[in-house]
Amino acid sequence: MVVLIRKTHLGLSALLLAAVAGMALILWQGSGSITTFSSLTGGEPSPIVVVDPGHGGEDGGAVAADGTVESGLNLQIAQRLNDLLRFLGQVTVMTRTEDVSIYSDGAETLHQKKVSDLKNRVALVNGLEDAVLVSIHQNSLPGSPKTHGAQVFYNGLEPAPALAATVQERLNQSINTGNGKTPKRISDSIYLTKNVTAPAIIVECGFLSNGEDTAHLQEPGYQLQLAVAVAAGYLSTEETP
Ligand SMILES: [Zn+2]
């Protein structure tokens, strides 16, 4: 029996293999004393990772000059991250797996739908006994079209700051070369991360106000690089002596 594999699948399989090989290198390089995320949480079993593709449905989020919408990129990158984390043995939940807004019945205006959607995402995270939220977004700064690259933001619940630092380091090593960024505390005006009772990071993968970022963010290989950096950052924390 002949098994036919479509070219695109072959291409993606090769990418996935390269990604796994790359992650293995990242996990094993350095001091050799690599621990898992559980070390940050005091040796407890690994928490459930809530992978949250920001926006969706009527709420597209930021829009690039060429019409590329944030919510679609968030979903594609989040799905790659979710697949990688599961492949690596983590338990995950996604807040959405389609291009939808997850508002409850009764929400009518766009504002009501957005509020309801965010409340439902918070409820999902807070309904889990032991969770960590990884929210995927795209940035936009139309007043500064040259600004580009990926940046991580964190809420005030431990070990979010350390997690953000590790993920940022991986992103700086892979896609932010020559453009290293520093993780930042999320402003309290952000409803989702303010109201969750779990440590949370937001990964702003790139700038839709930057033409090059916008083009890269649509490439499967680049999306996978982002997912690998986030997954490797999540899974590996070099122990400080
Ligand atoms: Zn967003």
Of residues 11 and 134, more confidence is placed in 134
Asked if 171 and 233 count as a contact pair (C-beta separation under 8 A), the reply is yes
> What is the predicted pLDDT for the residue at 4?
42
- How many residues can be counted in the chain? 241
**pLDDT tens string 164-196:** 999 999 999 999 999 999 999 998 889 999 999
Measured between alpha carbons, how far is 100 from 153 in angstroms, rounded to an integer?
24
Q: How large is the greatest C-alpha to C-alpha distance in the chain, in angstroms? A: 59
The alpha carbon of 227 is separated from its chain's Cα centroid by a whole number of angstroms, namely 7
Query: In this structure, are strands 200-207 and 131-139 parallel, antiparallel, or unpaired?
Result: parallel
Total-model pTM: 0.84
> Strand ranges (DSSP E) for the chain?
34-35, 48-53, 92-94, 131-139, 151-154, 184-185, 200-207, 237-238
Distance 205 CA to ligand 1 centre (A): 10
Distance 74 CA to ligand 1 centre (A): 8
**pLDDT tens string 97-114:** 999 999 999 999 999 999
Weakest mean pLDDT among 5-14, 135-144, 161-170, 183-192: 5-14
Q: Edge-to-edge, what's the strand order for the sheet holding 48-53?
A: 92-94, 48-53, 131-139, 200-207, 151-154, 184-185
Partnered with residue 34 across adjacent β-strands are: 238
Partnered with residue 170 across adjacent β-strands are: none
Q: Quote the percentage of the chain above a pLDDT of 70.
A: 80
The correct answer on CATH 3.40.630.40 for the domain covering 7-238 is: yes
Distance 70 CA to ligand 1 centre (A): 7
Distance 63 CA to ligand 1 centre (A): 10
Rounded to whole angstroms, what are the CA distances from 124 to 79, 130, 132, 144? 18, 12, 11, 35
**pLDDT tens string 14-55:** 555 566 565 555 554 443 334 455 555 555 678 999 999 999
Omega prior to 220 cis, within 30 of 0: no
Distance 138 CA to ligand 1 centre (A): 5
Q: Which amino acid is at 210?
A: N
Does residue 73 have a pLDDT over 50? Answer: yes
Reference 131, options 53, 204, 193; nearest CA is 193
Tokens representing 41 are: 């949480």
Distance 117 CA to ligand 1 centre (A): 13
DSSP letter string over 200-228? EEEEEEEETTSHHHHHHHTSHHHHHHHHH
